[in-house]
Amino acid sequence: MVVYIPDELLIKANDNEEIGQVLKLMFVLFECGKHKWYLKKNDVRLFHKSPCLQSYREFIEKYVVEHVAYEKNDEHYLVRLSIESYIKEKMDILTQNPDIEVKKYLDGKRAIAKYDGNIHDFVDIELAESFLGQPLKIVVENVESDALFITTCLSKIAKIDPSDLWIEFVHGGGSDIPKVLKNFAGKVRVVCIIDCDKNSPEEISADKKVFCKQLQKICDNFGYILHILNKREMENYIPDSALKKYLNATNRCCDDYDYFGLDDIQKDYFDMKKGLHKKCMNLPIWKSIHSSEKEIAATTTVQSLNLFGFGDNVWKAFEYVESESELKSRDLINELDEIVSKIFQLL
């Protein structure tokens, strides 16, 4: 993340050992590239002469020389380290402007305000060690399969090796996700990505609606980012070309699967592991299924259509995605770009 340390905090650090230790931690993180230091020109002398940062003097001098772009107001998300009393005072001022959106978390120890075209994340110095001193937590339902989907998005779209990013995938286990999110207590950065589990664009179970609302409330309360997939599940984002390569690699014949004859919407809500459920056949998107150029009645059995799934390991087909264009071949709403953007927002 891009982090700004105001001069008043630096001055306090010279007489406050606790603040001084936090600032030293921040410069360890700056030096190893975990976060980026947002430096204002007028602050250079203060940081250079700060007693608590003398051991980082060489790094500060080098950083100032190399980062000629400092003080440019082009950072869309800026973390501002501060103290609770200043955050309260600042939020009181900002809330007087009806055009500025302000959200407060953890009893005022963290607040997010949108103004000047940027998002300003005010974080109390007491939260810095956990909030900035730990990797971004990406909470998913299945840490193995879902992580491959997300790292594929990061590598192909962001053109970066995911192992170079300071992220940690956290296994939520479906119904246990609310508990996992609550246990973090808003003290770390979290992006939560879950399946929508829809069988069609219009169909979502009552239980899933309640679950999604519960997650949204938790994320709103703690300042997390939640993304609910538009398609049924993560496996529905596997491009046909990668899926065919996966089938060939596992000694299966693509011609045995009528899935490849479905339209894009049907593919978006098909159960990639188990296949089309018989109970789904009466849903509008499945009534137009064709096989051998003849319309099949809704009473036709799923077995006769060969609309069975690809097994529990179909997620491994993401390993066969070769390019960004291939990955995004059926992403008509730029959702994959949005997912990558949400992750980078909190990195």
Residue 210's CATH number? 3.40.50
Question: Global pTM?
Answer: 0.92
The answer as to whether 121 is a domain residue is yes
> Can you say whether the dihedral through the CA atoms of 8, 11, 16, 22 is positive or negative?
positive
Nearest to 258, CA basis, from 206, 216, 294, 222: 294
Rounded-to-integer distance, Cα 84 and Cα 109, Å:
5
Instruction: Name the one residue in this structure whose structure tokens are 């007028």.
Output: 42
The answer as to whether 326 is a domain residue is no
Q: Which residue, of 98, 131, 164, is where some domain finishes?
A: 131
Q: Which residue, of 77, 105, 131, is where some domain finishes?
A: 131
Q: For 119-123, 201-205, 339-343, which range has the lowest pLDDT when averaged over its residues?
A: 201-205
Q: Which two tokens stand for residue 309?
A: 């799934």
The answer as to whether 192 is a domain residue is yes
The answer as to whether 184 is a domain residue is yes
- Co-location of 78 and 178 in the same domain: no
Give me the pLDDT at residue 277, please: 85
- Co-location of 73 and 33 in the same domain: yes
Rounded-to-integer distance, Cα 242 and Cα 155, Å:
16
Torsion angle defined by CA atoms of residues 108, 169, 161 and 56, in that order, rounded to the nearest 10 degrees: 40
**Rg over CA atoms, the chain:** 24
> Has residue 316 got a pLDDT over 90?
yes
3-state percent breakdown (helix, strand, coil) of the chain, nearest 5: 50, 15, 35
Q: By residue range, what is the domain housing residue 227?
A: 136-235+332-345
> pLDDT grade, residue 46 (50/70/90)?
confident
| DSSP category for residue 232 | S
- Co-location of 223 and 248 in the same domain: no
- Co-location of 98 and 205 in the same domain: no
- Co-location of 83 and 211 in the same domain: no
Output the CA angle 248-252-258, nearest 5 degrees: 105
Quick: pLDDT tens for 165-181: 999 999 998 889 999 99
**Residues forming beta bridges with residue 191, ordered by sequence position:** 138, 225
The answer as to whether 308 is a domain residue is yes
> Has residue 296 got a pLDDT over 50?
no
The answer as to whether 21 is a domain residue is yes
Stretch 96-110: mean pLDDT, rounded? 95
- Co-location of 115 and 159 in the same domain: no
- Co-location of 26 and 11 in the same domain: yes
- Co-location of 226 and 244 in the same domain: no
Domains of the chain: total? 3
The answer as to whether 7 is a domain residue is yes
Nearest to 127, CA basis, from 81, 162, 170, 90: 81
- Co-location of 103 and 246 in the same domain: no
- Co-location of 127 and 148 in the same domain: no
Q: Which two tokens stand for residue 20?
A: 């001084």
- Co-location of 230 and 339 in the same domain: yes
Nearest to 330, CA basis, from 243, 228, 227: 243
Q: Which DSSP string corresponds to 103-164?
A: EEEGGGTEEEEEETTEEEEEEEGGGHHHHTSSPEEEEES-TTHHHHHHHHHHHHHS-S-GGG
The answer as to whether 260 is a domain residue is yes
Q: Which residue, of 131, 160, 177, is where some domain finishes?
A: 131
- Co-location of 336 and 260 in the same domain: no
> Has residue 49 got a pLDDT over 80?
no
Quick: pLDDT tens for 205-250: 899 999 999 999 999 999 999 999 999 999 999 999 999 999 999 9
Residue 271, helix vs strand vs coil? coil
